[in-house]
Structure 1
């Protein structure tokens, strides 16, 4: 039968561990399997008062941890004298062993040995050690909260980006709460924390923290650790399970842009050819611009779907983003946006310079309007000056942005002077 652990107070979930806060009503007892997942030095007692000065008295309490050897001595059990015995008799365990146990028959008072697998228990036997944690002295006129860290509960975020033909987007956040223990956990309040922390459980290194479903925006920064969201309703987490919860929509905007950067490489000025012509064709890349004006976003896996048909078009690992931070990432070429160009380079050996004229054709074969960003720069070893079609100086690079209608194309040219 799964073991259930209800708590009346707060669970703080991070991306590699959890911190439990509960009322202290006397000694706490943990079974061996649960004790193995607790960071023992994290078990501390605090006053439930909001007064910080009272909370500072935590070190005044004496903490005791005792390992109790639990056995079944003195317990009433049902015993079959031999495997075929149909009517077990009531006995009291005198001394238990893995193979044979000494028991006393209640009706006759006789003692005898019996194979341990012939003993039937009324309740589940507790054969492992129990760890008892207590604090002393406890004033009777105050209430206290005990907290401790466990490694078998954690959470991680997932993101879904939906793009539509009208250029609108939908950004969703899902949270996976992961329970790797045989326990059922129940909490009245859950806080989803995000940040970066390093903790060690025994020989295993546990690093970092993170998120989940929320009812209100509670983005608070505690020395780099954020209270990302909180749930004030009851939460039940089943053994060996992953519970997925949605997060309330946040104020996050996504814009899709199709980009290409043309790097100009020029032949040596010493070449015998005064004029050279190069032409080529390329595909534009998809660029996603994320504008986060809502709250702290933890790092997580992002899946991107196109249109209401939910066609998967890519995936990305989103880094940690602070509030108001902007982020861009490129994700694959798009075959429907084509760049064609031809470039004429004229070398002037007398002035040791080159004049490059570039003609650009951008074609949109999509059924929708798109955002285009075209750039041109010179390779790092070259110093260039760019000029538009009207001979206006553009500086050391060309930046060209426009909205291109569906099934449309655009043509333009620019001039570049190579300096030595």
Structure 2
């Protein structure tokens, strides 16, 4: 670490009062900046202000009482300055300029003062912005935030949300034989136009409802107020990615649970350049991964066929934050999935594509269909005022036999997990097992686990009763 960085780090950490350090809390779509209040008013450039949620700017400290807050936009006006405008008779080869005075920079109104134009009266006309030539560079607006407050403590902190900093978790799942290796990286992004120094940081993840919609409202309000001022999202430049190395010694500590969220502290200072992704290693949890082929289908009275899905069941010994995961088997990329926020020792099941070597065919045969009357209970009809208790309802009981054939073209054993679902249009479902294989009823689903040997065709069947 350079000498200036050490001095800056010592200066900033010396401001830690009441366990509230100068810190940056980074979320999936924005960041909260917390820093000691040095002087008022707070001053932001227009570029910085475009990323700040104005209604989030506040002060906090011991027994602080804010009595007034003001937000002011100031911009040096160019009204009254001498400009040149392009003459309408100009061509691309010959540009003719006319001297004038800028009267209204918002509406681009110019007063002509060119001696070559013979006129007894003043001439005014509106010029497109790109046809005006200035003698000085137009200055962007500066935004000032001021507070009137009282506090019993001399140490006061300012906090606000800004959208140029965000982060996400990205994973690499490497599977080789019976070994499973999950690598987690924190991808921190600076979308701003300037570098950001971060003394301390917290990466916060979980189901967090934080939006920057107030920022969009502010922009729309400012545009309508000015009459012609436009705002554009900054264009992304070529993405720069920085992978930290051991020499930098920037590391992420183990996550800690806080109010249903998880916080990953970073205690070392670092700098993220503009338009840069900063990648830090997070952790390498102990994971177990089961591979299997899955058949999960909606019940249909029509015959169906298809291929099994290449599926996985993952379990980790620690919390995993939401993030995209690239999956490799034997050093080859075989797919990707989006991992959810997953608790330690919980299981997550996912599929990444079809397996062409394992196919299934399912035939459904109607065995019987019986119509009968059923007396509705008083309890059920107490919610329906239009139906009298004890009324007879006409029901139909259907009995189907499902014949399932699975063909394994692989030269190795494979595990299959079968699920038949989608019986919601029926009042009741009942499984009748007529096969040596184990099928079970799990709520409104029929399930079974099978093991198929290499290069084999297996046939299964079961019967169900459905009442509609």
In 2 relative to 1, CA 236–388 (structure 1 residues): closer, same or farther, beyond 3 Å?
farther
Indicate the SS of the match to 1:20: strand
Equivalent pairs counted in the alignment come to 333
In 2 relative to 1, CA 371–415 (structure 1 residues): closer, same or farther, beyond 3 Å?
closer
Indicate the SS of the match to 1:197: coil
Partners of 1:175 and 1:192 in 2: CA distance: 9
Q: Deviations over 1:145-197 (max 9, x none)?
A: 22122222222333333333x24433333333222221110112111122222
Q: Deviations over 1:225-274 (max 9, x none)?
A: x243121111211112222333212455443221125777669xxxxxxx
The alignment status of 1:187 with 2:181, answered yes or no, reads no
Indicate the SS of the match to 1:196: coil
Partners of 2:171 and 2:65 in 1: CA distance: 42
Indicate the SS of the match to 2:64: helix
Alignment counterpart, residue 365 of structure 1, candidates 410, 416, 422: 410
Aligned counterpart, 1:231: 266
Which 10-residue stretch deviates more, 30-39 or 395-404? Answer: 395-404
Query: Does the 8 Å contact 2:405/2:459 carry over to 1?
Result: yes
Unmatched runs of 5 consecutive residues or more in structure 1: 48-53, 72-97, 99-114, 118-124, 207-212, 268-277
Instruction: Give the structure-2-normalised TM-score.
Output: 0.57
Alignment counterpart, residue 19 of structure 1, candidates 22, 29, 32: 32
Partners of 1:70 and 1:353 in 2: CA distance: 81
Alignment counterpart, residue 255 of structure 1, candidates 290, 304, 310: 290
* Larger helix share, 1 or 2: 2
Query: Does the 8 Å contact 1:365/1:408 carry over to 2?
Result: yes
Partners of 2:66 and 2:305 in 1: CA distance: 75
Alignment counterpart, residue 431 of structure 2, candidates 385, 390, 408: 385
In 2 relative to 1, CA 296–288 (structure 1 residues): closer, same or farther, beyond 3 Å?
same
Aligned counterpart, 2:50: 36
The alignment status of 1:170 with 2:181, answered yes or no, reads yes
Partners of 2:60 and 2:289 in 1: CA distance: 44
The alignment status of 1:155 with 2:167, answered yes or no, reads yes
Alignment counterpart, residue 146 of structure 1, candidates 158, 167, 176: 158
Q: CA deviation at 1:409?
A: 3.7
Partners of 1:136 and 1:64 in 2: CA distance: 9
* Larger strand share, 1 or 2: 1
In 2 relative to 1, CA 204–15 (structure 1 residues): closer, same or farther, beyond 3 Å?
farther
Indicate the SS of the match to 1:217: coil
Q: CA deviation at 1:59?
A: 2.4
Partners of 1:216 and 1:319 in 2: CA distance: 21
RMSD over equivalenced CA pairs, Å: 4.5
In 2 relative to 1, CA 199–266 (structure 1 residues): closer, same or farther, beyond 3 Å?
closer
Indicate the SS of the match to 2:186: strand
